[in-house]
A = this chain, B = another copy of it.
Amino acid sequence: MNIQTAIQGATGYTGAELIRLIDAHPVFQIMHLGAHSQAGRKVSDALPGVSGTIGDTLLASADDPLPDEVELVFTALPHGASARCVQRALNSGKRVVDLSADFRHRDVATYKTAYGVDHPCPELLSEAIYGITEFQKDTLLAEARLVANPGCYPTSALLPLIPLLRAGVLDTGNIIIDSKSGASGAGRSARTELIFCEVNENVRAYGLPKHRHAWEIEEKACFFSDVRACIQFVPHILPMTRGMLSTLHLSGKQPETWCGILMNAFADKPFVCMLAEGQLPSIAGVAGSNRCDIGISVTGPDHAVVISCLDNLIKGAAGQAVQNANLMFGLNEQAGLSRIALWP
């Protein structure tokens, strides 16, 4: 059985990763590649890493109609542009996993506050299923027409946070998330602040006082745990390409029990690996895989540090999109996804 797919926004970093994953997928096949700006070029000219048959494909415009055979569309376009593209795909009867921010929020007001623009297609918001795979219901994914793939920071924050919020052990007024991301999270755009010599041998925080993803973390932490929490979120950009590490500084009761809570939560989740207490994860352990590794260190009678690591382009974007798509089409959740990192 094959399922034909299209990728919109194929020439960005997330699009390139989708091509790599789907090209190796046992069921999904790439039938159509659309791009925001490089339509008409060969894929291999726009993406240095793509070779073989798929490399000879000509890039369509993101506005071009999709082939009839396509059942599933991945949209990895900038916010705003993505929503329109999603709408066209749904109207032509396709199912969609949207990797932009456009369908992550339930509420147009939050979207406008976080992204500074009016939502282009508010009528679709109510049917979008938020695809944090480990916490979303398989049945909802199986029926979804539109899955909103989570942001990379929210994925790294929510995976450890939701089980602890559900367990009621956290001091919800004092949750601090200090995140560190590789530069690929900023996308493939030619801005002076992103050129090599400005990022290399450098670190800086950005997006303060409230980064866009802070809204997403707050909303989804509450949605999946039924607990309202006050979350401080500070992201940093690091001199590396891939990977994300989030350090959660937490207080609450009986932190020595939290490792067990997290182990239980992820016992049957193939892509989340909860380490033994005191063992700390590293980005190198997950880069190139769809895994999120989580570790905890109890630092006081009512304090602990929880650290989560993932590859921002895989579990934080394209990999989780494939994981969601697998469940949408009744496939094995792990189809086409690796649990082993590309190391070193």
**Chain A: residues with CB nearer than 8 A to chain B?**
13, 16, 19-20, 23-24, 47-52, 54, 174, 176, 178, 180, 182-184, 188-192, 194-206, 208-210, 232, 234, 236, 238-243, 245, 247, 249, 251, 270, 273, 278, 280-289, 291, 293, 297-300, 303, 305, 307, 338-344
Contacts and interface: CB of A to CB of B under 8 A. Distances in A.
Contact of A283 (B23, B204, B245, B284): B204
Nearest to A47: B343
Interface centre among A19, A189, A287, A343 (most CB of B within 10 A): A343
B232 A201 contact: no
Given A249-B176, A280-B208, A54 B307 contact: no
Q: What 8 pairs across the A-B complex have the smallest Cβ distances? A: A49-B341, A49-B343, A48-B285, A208-B297, A204-B282, A202-B284, A196-B199, A197-B344
B196 A183 contact: yes
A341 to B, nearest CB: 3
A179 B343 CA distance: 23
Contact of A286 (B49, B189, B241, B343): B49
A23 B337 CA distance: 12
Nearest to A285: B48
A291 B198 CA distance: 19
A226 to B, nearest CB: 23
A188 B195 contact: yes
B49 A209 contact: no
Contacts of A249: 176, 178, 232, 234, 249
